[in-house]
Structure 1
């Protein structure tokens, strides 16, 4: 059964976005994604192609998460119930992308350990941990968004 066209989206607006679950996860996704971005940018890597993908994903997700957070705060999701689908789609894609960069970072970190570069090894370990943490957060957000989407339809 489909949802009525005039149904209000269950995604909260205003300050409630920062106090409701799973939107509260967006703040932590924002922080962890920013840390991955900063750590990868500060480390010297052996594989520039991998670093390019990691930087693209972390910056892309950082920007889109920020944009969605601002849009939810101003209440654009109240105009259409399609925003629940946008929320599900974005967080699923972000989870898959973050999983790919977490695995890449873990592999690259192994090669940095072999080369004996301790400073970059520690930076890449931190980036790998935060990438896996961001993957977990985006996955949890995607699952909760799916539950919300299914319960609203």
Structure 2
């Protein structure tokens, strides 16, 4: 829950930076944000997978499947944040590739 709320707040702050034009400086706000968000989601993915493995014998089958689904979606979110962070780094390091 902490990661989701933190990323929501970070995304909202990043949106306001873009709306006000404050992102035109030398600091790559989106690159830093997506790297931190990917790290947060990766740590959450590991913890969710560990919790799912450790609770295998003590819960019902439906709860176990729910935790497996949560772990998989967490890994998918991590992958998407990593891909976006890589594209942000490419755009930041090579501005000639940026069409805008």
TM-score (norm 1): 0.55
Q: Distance in 1 between matches of 2:80 and 2:89?
A: 14
Gaps of 5+ in 2: none
Q: Distance in 2 between matches of 1:141 and 1:148?
A: 10
1:145 matched to 2:91 = no
Q: Distance in 2 between matches of 1:129 and 1:135?
A: 10
Q: Given the superposition, is the C-alpha separation of residues 87 and 120 from structure 1 closer, same or farther in structure 2, using an over 3 Å criterion? A: same
**Does the 8 Å contact 2:14/2:29 carry over to 1?**
no
Gaps of 5+ in 1: 1-54
**Does the 8 Å contact 1:112/1:120 carry over to 2?**
no
Instruction: Name the residue aligned to 1:57.
Output: 3
1:91-110 correspondence to structure 2 within 5 Å: 91-110=34-53
Q: Distance in 2 between matches of 1:59 and 1:112?
A: 25
How large is the RMSD of aligned CA atoms in angstroms? Answer: 2.0
What is the Cα deviation at residue 107 of structure 1? 0.7
1:46-125 correspondence to structure 2 within 5 Å: 55-72=1-18, 74-77=19-22, 80-82=24-26, 85-125=28-68
The number of equivalent residue pairs is 96
Q: Distance in 2 between matches of 1:87 and 1:93?
A: 10
| Runs of 4 or more above 3 Å deviation | none
What is the Cα deviation at residue 71 of structure 1? 4.0
Instruction: Give the secondary structure class of the aligned counterpart of 1:114.
Output: coil
TM-score (norm 2): 0.80
Q: Distance in 2 between matches of 1:147 and 1:102?
A: 26
